[in-house]
Amino acid sequence: MRNIPQVLVIDDDEVVGRSFERVLTEKGYDVDMALSGEEGLKDMDTTDYDVVFTDIKMPGMDGIEVAERIKAKCPWTPVVVITGYGTEENEARASVLGVNGFVRKPLTPEMIESVTLKALEKHVEPQVAANEEAIPDTSATEEVEFKGWRKALRIARNIVLFFAAPFIALFYIIALPIVGFYTFAKLAVEAWQKKHAVN
């Protein structure tokens, strides 16, 4: 999000737009106004808004259609629907679109500021996620590579043991009689030494 949050208010009632502009400009926001859905969508072609407010009932394109088009084009942009006509049907349609909420008329300065802050919080999360995705996560790749090397080493060890097994067996066949003879000879020498030591 930029240092100065960009807010777009789409409402055919200019008084509503002016209310948002007056309240939010004092709080450090940059507010643009559009008097129709078509005009608002054109504004979005040139500006990356941090939050968009749209009236639900306007001539031509209504707020739900505006929200649908915004979400299709910029799914990360929070959209809040301004309405004096809150119905369950509209809320259901809006929730399917991923609209961030409804704000109902009459609007108060506190309501405008509060809903804007909440919407901006929603805007930060996708940007953070996008930044995290932009940084390659090498940990998973490194783990896969490590497992791959470990598997390759295990296979190589098994191959070496497979080919070495006959030689190891041959070594034991040769070595066992020698070890046995050495052990027998050692015991015999020790017994002879003890016998002569007693005498």
How buried is residue 126: exposed, middle or buried, by Cβ count under 10 Å (0-12/13-18/19+)? middle
The sign of the torsion formed by the CA atoms of 103, 109, 110, 115 equals positive
CA nearest 74: which of 24, 22, 6, 17? 6
Reported pTM:
0.59
Whole-angstrom CA distances from 185 to 124, 175, 193 are: 85, 15, 12
Give me the pLDDT at residue 140, please: 46
Q: How far apart are CA 93 and CA 86, in angstroms?
A: 12
Q: How far apart are CA 122 and CA 129, in angstroms?
A: 12
User: Residue ranges of the chain with pLDDT lower than 50?
Assistant: 1, 125-135, 139-141, 144
Give me the pLDDT at residue 62, please: 87
The domain locations on the chain are 6-134, 139-199
- Is the CATH code 3.40.50.2300 the one for domain 6-134? yes
CA 167 to chain centre: 55
Give me the pLDDT at residue 179, please: 62
